[in-house]
Structure formats: structure tokens, C-alpha cells
Amino acid sequence: MRMTVGDPAGRRTDSATVVQRYSRSSRWYHAAVYLAVLALLGTGWWLITGREGQPSALSRLAGASDATLHTYTGWALAILTALGVTIGYRATSTFIRESIRYDRGDLRWFVRWPVALFTGRFARHEGHFDPGQRIANLLLVTLLAVLVGSGAGLAVVAGGPSFVWLQRIHTWATYLITPVLVGHILIAIGVLPGYRGVARSMHLGGRLPAEVARRVWPGWLERHGDQQ
């Protein structure tokens, strides 16, 4: 659905036009996943940095130890993952397909990206996701799968040699995913001028100003804007 507001002369302007990039169910799923991931990241780093046994603010709020909270939230993320690949199979397929696409010109997008972060003058690309976002998506999905798998293993395998290996894998996947998540959050909240306004695609009804979509996802806007 595209909602438009005409100017007095009857012309549609980008600043007044909004586009819907994600369905309500996608936005709620994304929110559930990131709330779980943020809780896991917080409690996980609390434990990694040796503060286990000292209840964090979240632990005091929940009335459970950080280790328990981490385990239960991990199971919640595992359930969300299972729902994503079963009930959300079609959306997941589209997400994966759009994340592994490669078009001519994508390399040029990367060359211009460091400057475009601040100017907003990204090179054109044709994807649903921009080329950097595609790499971040694949890294996030892979590392989250490793974390969910190894986390489930740590919860079930109570100790011993298998536990030792699972814990190493879990810890290293945490080290690797943290900067990717921090980068994703920095971009998503619009701190960087080039990405200002993108948070609306996933929040507050998901209505994104068309000028933001044109700046960040021009090919997608042209294809889908006309269909809406």
C-alpha cells in the first residue's frame, strides 16, 4: 500500500509520499528477533566479562539469574527461528534469495559507500537490500544459526568435552556477531546521515518516506512503488 499526499498543485512529492516496505508480520517478527537478540547480547556479554553471579539490571528486573535468563531467551530465539523457517518459509526464501543476489554495478556501490554514508549519494543498485546489507544479512543469519545451534547444545550437554567445544564456538560466534550487530544498529537507527530515516521501514507502521527509499533502495522502489 502506498499512501500519497498531493501538493496544492496536485503533484505527488517524494517528501510527502510514503511507501510500505515490509508487511506487519515481517515487522513484528523482526522486532521479536531483535528484542531476543539484544537480551542475549546483553546477558551474554555480562557472562563473558566474568560478572556471572552479580545480577545485572535485567536479571533483577526478571527475577532470574543472568545465566538462566540467557538460556530461556536463547530457547525463545530458537523457537522464533523454527517459526521463521516453517510458517515464514516464503518470506525466509525471499530474504535469502535477495541476500545472495549479485548484480553488475554492486562493486561500484561498495566503492562509493564510505563517502555515501555521510552524503547519502549511494551508487545505484537493483536489490531489495543494498549490497552491504546483503553481506550483513548473510553474516547475521549464519552467525545466529551457529549461536542458536551451539546455545541449544550448551543447554542440553551439561558438561564434558562436547560442552567445551560448544562453548568455544558459542563464544567466538559472539565475538564475530557483535560488530556486525553494532553496525546494523548504527545504520538502522539513522545515526549516519546517508541512512537517515530508514528505521521507519521496520517501525511505527512501516511507512517509509519515498525519498529515503529512493536514496537507499532505488531499484526496489521503482519496481515495487509502481505495483503498490
DSSP string, 53-64: TS--HHHHHHTS
Tell me how far, at minimum, the Cβ of 40 lies from other proteins, in Å: 15
- For the CB of residue 120, give the shortest distance to other proteins in the complex, in Å: 41
Closer residue to other proteins (CB): 64 or 135: 64
- Report in angstroms how near the CB of residue 96 gets to other proteins at its nearest: 16
CB 77 within 8 A of CB 40: yes
Q: Which three cell numbers stand for residue 40?
A: 542475549
Cα 226 from Cα 228, distance rounded (Å)? 6
Which of residues 52 and 106 has its CB atom nearest to other proteins in the complex?
A: 52
**Beta carbon of residue 46, minimum distance to other proteins (angstroms, whole number):** 12
Closest separation in Å from C-beta 154 to other proteins? 5
Query: From CA 99, how far away is CA 106, in angstroms rounded?
Result: 13
Q: Which of 60, 54, 59, 89 is nearest to 71 (CA)?
A: 59
16 or 155, CB closer to other proteins? 155
* C-alpha dist (Å) from residue 39 to 15, 48, 149, 175, 213: 36, 14, 17, 16, 30
Q: How far is the CB of 214 from other proteins (least distance, A)?
A: 39
Residues forming the site for other proteins (CB under 8 A)? 52-55, 59-60, 63-65, 67-68, 71, 78, 81-82, 85, 149, 152-164, 167
As a residue count, the chain comes to: 228
Whether 91 and 80 have beta carbons less than 8 Å apart is answered as no
Alpha-carbon span 56 to 43, nearest angstrom: 8
Q: Looking at beta carbons only, is 77 or 210 nearer to other proteins?
A: 77
23 vs 162, which CB is nearer to other proteins? Answer: 162
Q: Which is nearer to other proteins, 10 or 160 (CB)?
A: 160
